[in-house]
Structure 1
Amino acid sequence: MAPNSSAQGSATARAGEAGSGAAGTRHSATREIQYPRVSRRQGATSRVSQRDSGSILDGKYEILERLATGGMGEVWRARHIHLHEQRVIKILRADRATDPHALQRFAQEARIATQIKHPNVAILYDFSRLEDGSFYMVWEHIDGEDVGGWLRSKGPFPVPLAVELAIQALRGLDAIHSAGVIHRDLSPDNLMLARDRRERPTVKIIDLGLAKNLQTPGDLEITQAGVFMGKLMYCSPEQAGSIKEEPLDHRSDLYSFACVLYEMITGRAPFDSENPHGYVLKRLTEPPIALIGRNPEVVVPRALNDVVLRGLERDRDRRWPDALSFLQGLVKVADQLRQVSTQEVPVVRGSAPAPAAAPPSTSSPRSGSRSGASELSREERVELLAQIEAAARRVNEASRLAELSGQAL
């Protein structure tokens, strides 16, 4: 099966679009990288779109296929001709390289990426300039699909898998935050699914096109009149403008990630709305809907419900204080799920579990709930074990969760 590389390329291209300069753009003082000026005439002589499959880029990358095209440039899958490894190459169009704001944004993404080294964050390998004046960066090629693709094709993740992948993603996010960087664009499309060397499911955070280094005053800060930086469905209340006097910090990313995890578990958003702007309005005025009962086909332990809802607190001071704390909350849930999977709870295969005398509450507790990792009830254990076994059957039918590329599970 062909690798689903387009997911990685499309997400990268989208960030380039969001990070482009435009009329009405206001820039803070920044320490710009000084590059030789490229005339528009020079840049126009050799456009990125003229590259063909099989051509050699910069003497070392064989172009294999175009993954995405955007206003900032193009994204290609390529092969390093000396190392025989695939890469993803993001090329800033030569005519965009004449725009100092676009060039600074492109260079800033690369500069930030070099500060972060973690197995759950995509790796940047190279950054350079071509003879025609266009710039390019070379990223790790991730052989898989993104979380958004999974949700669109297969629905919610099995709860144990969602929790395990979330723990990995939070490790990567902790590495990003430890470098003094905030991502600002966490969404299902920016989490890539893959497999590690031991063939275990893994996840990688991609696309630092909107990332900001909080420790470097020289980093470019762009605000555009009437243009939102990020994705409305996953932005934090403060990113949507609820806190106008204070800058964003790492807790904004935690909110966005909690939105993603909520959707991974339930297949639904934390709020009901017919359009993205409605999501923003509701997260500013209403508590999120509890995960318990959100999707009748998914059994959510109360401990998991509470962990995710804490990440969705409107008041950032009431959220998890950092990615590591969020991670530790999920580790406790993962321990519970493992205990459930090893306990001998009688379940009749091929049939639904018997109705519980006292089913889990489907009420919507306020997002301020702070209950800890309480023990699962017998009814929850029965239903979760049935869910795990059903998930295992689906995994076997999809070749052991191994095809996280192409059809990707």
Structure 2
Amino acid sequence: MPPRARQPPVARYCLACPLVRSRHEPVTMPRTSTAEYASPAQAAHAFDGRYVIISPLGSSHTGRTYLARQLELDRLVVIKFMHEPRSARSSRPLERFQREARALARLDHPHVARLLDYGEAADGRRYMVTEHVEGRPLAALQERFGWLPQERVVGLLDQIASALAGAHDHGLVHRNLKPRSVVVSESRDGSDHAHLVDFGLVKESAPDGAEPASHGVTGGPGGWYGTPRYLSPEQAFGRPSDARTDVYAIGLLAFELLSGRPPFDAHSPITCAYMHAVVAAPALDAQPDGTPIAPRLRDLVARCLAKAPEDRFPTMHALRAALEDATGTASTAERARAEWATMVDQPARGALLKLRPRPRDRGLVRLTPRTQPPSPRPPARPEPPREAAAEVWPPRSRPLGLNRWDLWLVILVAFAAALLGALLGR
């Protein structure tokens, strides 16, 4: 077999680990074939005559999702069935489900999963069909590795903010951004490609800021709208939401991806919502491995997590401009690929590598080239001359430093003196 021509190294983020691999090194991706699922017997019992349900994927506020195969086009899709209402008189689940479908139908964005079909099954169940995104949820990467490098985080945040900016341009507010709402796949050039896949709590922004009745942190029939760990202060208080609510959620996501932990967490949902409402976010200075956070990126996260909406970025477009500013370039993804490609190309020239285990998972290693010259150490500051201490009179007494044997000697002398005094007294 003739040797394969070597391709130029391109930075590729592996979805199974936080390392970057070159193009000539294979990256294992979860490729799913539609032929391995649906047999002729399964096709005879296809849902609605067009889809074969394969496996459950999860549940959200509006329904339960399943991986399915569309028979006519022979492709994988995702089907969401609406939750059954608790009461026959309740119309809220249907309104939310229809609102999500209408929002997805209005959005045509490269970082949003597209709506393919919507309807009502023969048994009366409402369903919607969206495209299947090959990849892993952002929550899975976070649970495995805890935190991600800053360049990778900035690239992901820029794509998510782009999707939210497109939704805001159509008058839509997401209100429930979290790691499980984002699926990360691999693009053709090897970089990350993020998709928003859950719009279950989306709302149309009203001119007067109208919002469904809610009791905020006090609970009650309305409760709050969102996940307690990823609530904004206005959601916790039951106040109207707007685009700045999603800006706060971007700050929560950035903090968690950079530090490996959420800024606010508690066992009680009420306590967690209260912390979002009144407790200041902790400082974000360095990553778990000691890498300092870039000052502009740190200030960006702090501004996103401001309690007052007017103190945050006013729009997602302003946030994206600040993200570009935080890295000092107009394209964070291209900068990350270029830097990683340089690092990957150095071992091919014979550069030595130093393996440094990550603190969270000792089984993984991080590649750091040794060919870079060590950073020069700052010159040591000369110590100021010590001034002679002024004499103190009378001199201060110092405590006696007695060890164990000195103590026994003192006790023995005292006992001998007492015994001699007793004998002389007789």
Band of TM-score, shorter chain: 0.5 to 0.7
* 2:97 paired residue among 106, 126, 139: 106
2:156 corresponds in structure 1 to 165
Deviation per CA, 1:3-34: give whole Å up to 9, x if none.
599xxxxxxxxxxxxxxxxxxxxxxxxxxxxx
The one-letter amino acid of 2:263's match is P
**Aligned: 1:310 with 2:303:** yes
Structure 2: gaps of 5 or more residues: 1-27, 33-40, 215-219, 344-350, 357-364, 370-426
> Per the alignment, in what secondary structure is the counterpart of residue 230 of structure 1?
coil
**Aligned: 1:319 with 2:319:** no
Contact 2:172 2:203 in 1 (8 A): yes
**Aligned: 1:208 with 2:177:** no
1:63-78 equivalences under 5 Å are 63-68=53-58, 74-78=64-68
Q: Distance in 2 between matches of 1:69 and 1:173?
A: 22
2:52 corresponds in structure 1 to 62
CA 1:221–1:83: 2 relative to 1, 3 Å: farther
1:131 Cα deviation from its structure 2 partner: 1.2
Contact 1:72 1:96 in 2 (8 A): no
Contact 2:354 2:368 in 1 (8 A): no
**Aligned: 1:350 with 2:326:** no
1:248 Cα deviation from its structure 2 partner: 1.3
CA 1:262–1:82: 2 relative to 1, 3 Å: same
Q: Distance in 1 between matches of 2:173 and 2:232?
A: 13
> Per the alignment, in what secondary structure is the counterpart of residue 248 of structure 1?
coil
1:78 Cα deviation from its structure 2 partner: 1.1
Contact 1:104 1:220 in 2 (8 A): no
Contact 1:96 1:102 in 2 (8 A): no
1:104-253 equivalences under 5 Å are 104-215=95-206, 221=212, 223=214, 225=221, 227-241=223-237, 247-253=240-246
Contact 1:164 1:334 in 2 (8 A): no
The one-letter amino acid of 1:390's match is R
CA 1:59–1:111: 2 relative to 1, 3 Å: same
Q: Distance in 2 between matches of 1:271 and 1:132?
A: 43
The one-letter amino acid of 2:81's match is I
1:91 Cα deviation from its structure 2 partner: 1.5
The one-letter amino acid of 1:76's match is Y
The one-letter amino acid of 1:236's match is S
RMSD: 3.6
1:253-264 equivalences under 5 Å are 253-264=246-257
Deviation per CA, 1:78-108: give whole Å up to 9, x if none.
1121222210001126777955332222112
CA 1:314–1:4: 2 relative to 1, 3 Å: farther
Q: Distance in 2 between matches of 1:230 and 1:139?
A: 22
Between 1:318-327 and 1:189-198, the stretch displaced more is 189-198
Q: Distance in 1 between matches of 2:141 and 2:79?
A: 24
* 2:78 paired residue among 72, 80, 88: 88
Q: Distance in 1 between matches of 2:326 and 2:206?
A: 34
The one-letter amino acid of 2:75's match is E
> Per the alignment, in what secondary structure is the counterpart of residue 366 of structure 2?
helix
Q: Distance in 2 between matches of 1:268 and 1:94?
A: 34
CA 1:220–1:326: 2 relative to 1, 3 Å: closer
Contact 2:163 2:196 in 1 (8 A): yes
The one-letter amino acid of 1:324's match is H
The one-letter amino acid of 2:240's match is P
Between 1:145-154 and 1:294-303, the stretch displaced more is 294-303
Contact 1:158 1:391 in 2 (8 A): no
Q: Distance in 2 between matches of 1:311 and 1:72?
A: 27
Q: Distance in 2 between matches of 1:331 and 1:74?
A: 37
1:273 Cα deviation from its structure 2 partner: 4.9
1:79 corresponds in structure 2 to 69
Higher relative contact order (CA 8 A, sep 6+): 1
1:179 Cα deviation from its structure 2 partner: 0.7
Q: Distance in 2 between matches of 1:303 and 1:157?
A: 18
1:333 Cα deviation from its structure 2 partner: 2.5
**Aligned: 1:266 with 2:262:** no
1:303 Cα deviation from its structure 2 partner: 1.2
The one-letter amino acid of 1:134's match is R
Identity within the alignment, %: 27
1:16 corresponds in structure 2 to none
> Per the alignment, in what secondary structure is the counterpart of residue 234 of structure 2?
coil
State TM-score, norm by structure 1: 0.66
The one-letter amino acid of 2:67's match is R
1:38 corresponds in structure 2 to none
1:295 corresponds in structure 2 to 288
Q: Distance in 2 between matches of 1:143 and 1:183?
A: 22
1:356-371 equivalences under 5 Å are none
Contact 2:186 2:192 in 1 (8 A): yes
Contact 1:128 1:135 in 2 (8 A): yes
Q: Distance in 2 between matches of 1:166 and 1:324?
A: 12
Between 1:115-124 and 1:191-200, the stretch displaced more is 191-200
CA 1:391–1:89: 2 relative to 1, 3 Å: farther
Q: How many residues align?
A: 308
The one-letter amino acid of 2:307's match is R
CA 1:227–1:186: 2 relative to 1, 3 Å: same
CA 1:149–1:226: 2 relative to 1, 3 Å: same
1:68 Cα deviation from its structure 2 partner: 3.3
> Per the alignment, in what secondary structure is the counterpart of residue 56 of structure 1?
coil
Q: Distance in 1 between matches of 2:242 and 2:53?
A: 38
Structure number, greater radius of gyration: 2
Contact 1:69 1:75 in 2 (8 A): yes
1:62 Cα deviation from its structure 2 partner: 2.3
> Per the alignment, in what secondary structure is the counterpart of residue 390 of structure 1?
strand
Contact 1:170 1:326 in 2 (8 A): yes
1:310 Cα deviation from its structure 2 partner: 0.8
